Amino acid sequence: MTMPFLQRSLQPFERLQISDGLLITAKRWQQAHSYHRQRQNLLHQSVHSPGIVWGLGVSVIRAPETISSQYRDGRWVQIQPGLAIDNFGNPIVVPAPIEFRIASEASAKQPVEVFLMLRYVDPDKLQALPEQETIQETFRIDETVTLPQVDEIELCRICLAPGRHQLKPAENVMFPGLNELDLRFRPAAHVRQTEWVEVGCFSASATAQFRALLQSAIALYPKMAGRVEHLAFPLNSSVTKYHLLYLTKAQFLALDEASMRGLLSAIAQGTTIIVAESLKGSAIAELQTVRQQLTDALLETSESEETYLAVQCELSAVTEQLQEYLQQQHAELSFHCHQLGIAISQAELLSSRHPLKTEPFLFSQFPTLRQQPITLLNSQGLIHLLGDLSVAWDGEVPFSREAVRTSQELGINVLHFAWQRKQRTTLQASTAAPEQSSQFVQTYA
């Protein structure tokens, strides 16, 4: 899994100042080498996402001959040599095969998922023998029942069935079964994405759909990665960390004053809120269909100027009526906020140059799904989404390839907009100056 950049406290690098006659002590020698290690790790951490560079395969083996018979239970695996980089930029080298026994057991009633993890070990934290002139950077392999931690690289996972069972290689490596090696979630080291998006959803279906959207971004927009979390009401202050929060209109209208003020605080701190509303069977859906038909007719008409003007006039009337309906729909959101004593800005249709229409994918008009042309109304960080945009993201509902790809591209535009808005809001926010920052402050006479 791709990880966000692990931010640490900013400290300028310090290196040894060399001059003739400098006495080289063990402390100074270590300081000189530590400087280069820190720079190398920062480069790896900044440019690469953590993961496996090559090798580190996992295979089921027989127990080694030297092992006692009580542990020859068909639960041994072998980790092959290979190279990985962890989230701190440390290279992890496994130079030779390692035998490892899976000791975890499932309960009598339900299976348990076991993870095989690789972790870097700093040799400076190990006890070295006095006569050693060199120390070797090393690693450790752990078996856990929790998801990977920030300093761990997943090598394999196994879903153990209740009772004692022998391990086996997966018959279908794409869909492993119980007690079979599952290598699907091993992270591969790659160039780090520059756009990390945090998304919060308030329904299981929306959570699955946004996760599928981020999966499609690997191929469609490799600069982007992120994480989607399933949230629950009531809201708390932690919602301000998200780039995007996704609610249905019914969920939004059910919010109490405290939750609504929490959302408005998140908007002020750069979070984008999407309020989604289906238009199935509504007058807006019918008007959008008529408008699209008139637009197509206007482009294709080759009849007299009188016919052209008549179609154009009818299109203008339908467009005006549609805009009135859209504003009425959004007025429900505004009225709910007003009842709680909260003001939100007037929603607007997007201009042709709005980032939601141009970055990174260009749209002259939004896609139509389930006979509902998608519409976005923007209100200073609150986006009213009219239409079922997300239903095409996870493949659960059959759509044409063109419809799926277009909806994915628009979804990526939404995530990109949310990331940009959060980033720019954060960058211009003031922060408390560090106590020891006087040497970096430029003074003017």
Q: What share of the chain is helix, strand, coil (3-state, %, to 5)?
A: 35, 25, 40
* Measured CA distances, 117 to 136, 145, 185, 186 (Å): 20, 10, 12, 10
pTM (predicted TM-score): 0.73
81 CB-contact burial (10 Å; exposed 0-12 / middle 13-18 / buried 19+)? middle
Question: pLDDT (tens digit, 0 to 9) for every residue of the chain, 445 residues total?
Answer: 555 655 556 778 888 888 888 888 888 888 888 888 888 888 888 888 889 999 999 999 998 888 888 888 888 999 999 999 998 889 999 999 999 999 888 887 889 999 999 999 988 777 766 677 777 889 999 999 998 888 899 999 999 998 888 899 999 999 999 999 999 999 998 888 889 999 999 999 999 999 999 999 999 999 999 999 999 888 877 889 999 999 998 898 888 888 888 888 898 899 999 999 887 656 666 666 666 667 767 666 665 666 777 777 777 776 666 666 666 666 676 766 666 555 555 556 678 889 999 999 999 888 888 777 788 888 778 888 888 899 999 888 888 999 999 999 999 999 999 999 999 998 887 665 444 433 333 433 3
Q: Which sign does the torsion angle of CA 166, 167, 171, 172 carry?
A: positive
Chain Cα centroid distance, residue 143: 26
* Measured CA distances, 246 to 184, 224, 414 (Å): 29, 18, 11
* Cβ neighbours of residue 160 closer than 8 Å, sequence gap 6 or more: 102, 104, 105, 106, 111, 112, 113, 114, 178, 179
Query: Residue 360, preceding bond cis, omega within 30 degrees?
Result: yes
Specify the 3-state DSSP secondary structure of 66: coil
